[in-house]
Structure 1
Amino acid sequence: MNAPLQSTKASATKPALTILIAAPRGFCAGVDRAIEIVERALERYGAPVYVRHEIVHNKFVVDGLRQKGAIFVEELDQVPDGAPVVFSAHGVPKAVPAEADRRGLDYLDATCPLVSKVHRQAERQIEANRHIVFVGHRGHPEVIGTMGQVPEGTMTLVETVEDVEALSLAADQPLAFLTQTTLSVDDTHEIVRALQTKFPHIVGPKAEDICYATSNRQAAVKKIAPGSDLVLVIGAGNSSNSLRLVEVSQKCGTDAKLIRRASEIDPAWLEGVGTLGLTAGASAPEELVREVVAKLSEWREVEEHTLVTAEEKMVFKLPRQLTD
């Protein structure tokens, strides 16, 4: 099916630049929910409200919430007794809410519901006495949170097909696999295929764990990259889904650069570029997309085309504490 094109034309007074803007892009429902939880907590409790880890991986968003009274910390021992605390959208190990309960802290869980779904799947597989092979990126907060849902030693992390080949699990050991929600769709399929080849009895989730927003944004980049000379991805260096968008573009044969803000664009990048692709990771607000277009318009006569590959209408409910 041909995706609809939305176009805005400008007059030609500078060198022309066509910008193909991916849609969907930017904020997903889980990010919208997490940010709203912090904002509503500030309204309900007043400043300061503590947030364990960056609520989402975007400095612009975090700085904005900090200005409103949010204080970001890495561990609960940095939260004073009696202060409200929010857990980030990436999810936390079970030990974190348990410690908050022990201390009597008033906490709100902003974990994306799609990540929480993976947590519940992990618990069910352990209850079924299966060892879990988890596909994800070592050290990412979502991976730390998911592995922290089950007893130590009951989940093994793999990042690549080579990691799968190196697994030394018993051939008859009951196994299941789960995946991080923000992975490369194509790379994950290869890893899962390797797991199923090596362990034909391995059990997988009924529906893939990679979230709808991650899949949609990668699909949108696959549409804009082939017709672009360069793709700019707005996102943070610690944002898994943003890094995957860069990789997807590069696998399409188009150079891609990750930027946090328009100020990071080097005009030299535009040499020889007649068509530029533009997208944003799931933690990047639309305001930053417009900022980038405005910066590009300083150097070039810009003609925008928005390439729509999917419509997103997902909305997640807020915690009961904020809606009662």
Structure 2
Amino acid sequence: MEKHAEGWIFSGKASDRLWTKSAIGRSMGTSGLLLTNAEVIFCNHHRHLELPYSDWLADALSEELDLLDEAVVIEALRVPGNKVVLRANLRHLDIGHSNSTWAARWSSDKHPRDEVPMAEIRWFHASSELDVEDLYDWSNDVQSRGRIAEVLVVDDENSVVTYRVSPAEPSGKMGELGEKTVEDIQDRTFKPLANGGVMILDGDTWPDERIGIPNPNGRIIDSICANMLYADEDGVTMGSSILSDLLKRGLHPRPGFKYGTRWRCYESPLGEGHAPWLVIHPAEAPHDWEGACLASRLAAGVGKTWIHPLLVDGTWRYLSISRPPADSRWTNPIRR
């Protein structure tokens, strides 16, 4: 192999086949195939390609501290047959993409020279910060191109898992919470509770079943809902603002404690279906991808979607982090 400003040039007999069949690297015509360091490692492990020289890996790791992580991400994507073109090579194929995208993916039966990608990809280490604003903007951009926004996460064992991120628009069938309903509740006698909530002593002819929890002696209102009902404009908290938005969307929020989140949200009245959404309070949200993966897996295990609220231009928006279908969960081979 020959050193190049952007990687390594492989000019062996297999160079044309690596691009034509697997879309590995960037074709440089008669000069050969341009590979990044991570692609060199993949080809060494899976295409019987020799490393450039005996101490190459040590030198490459000195240049790229996250090289081994990137290499296992490429492995996780390519071993099942996907074709993956890294961002630096997309412009040479005249393929538009989001500025934050690391690579684009094609299924095994497609090729970048003939088709547009079906997904754009980013990868993170499990300890990396979870930046929901950045992910929301990126996934929004990717979806506007008709593609899937995929995230691959690498843990300390060099194991890879796959998630999909997308803007979510949770909505229900129960309409908004009307002003008259709020005024009706506010006019009722209540007593404060130690947990910051209140007990409304008059629970007869209750105007909206989405507000409060039934009690033999009235209605229990938790602290966030109490803030939404009784606080003045300057005293409204983030939690009560989100709760108000969920109600405006026609949802029925209920405590999500048993699922490790702030709310579980029903689309229909209780008893008519399960709660498809688990909504986290931003102040209680995980700060890294390890925590986000745990939350998303827990939601998937009970047939629900985990969503994170974020404020965009004064409006609450929601980011979904979810497990993909079983046939799209890219992971690397297990090594013992």
Which entry has the higher C-alpha Rg, 1 or 2? 2
TM bin (shorter chain): under 0.3
TM-score by length of 2: 0.23
Decide which structure has greater strand share: 2
**TM-score computed with the length of structure 1 as normaliser:** 0.23
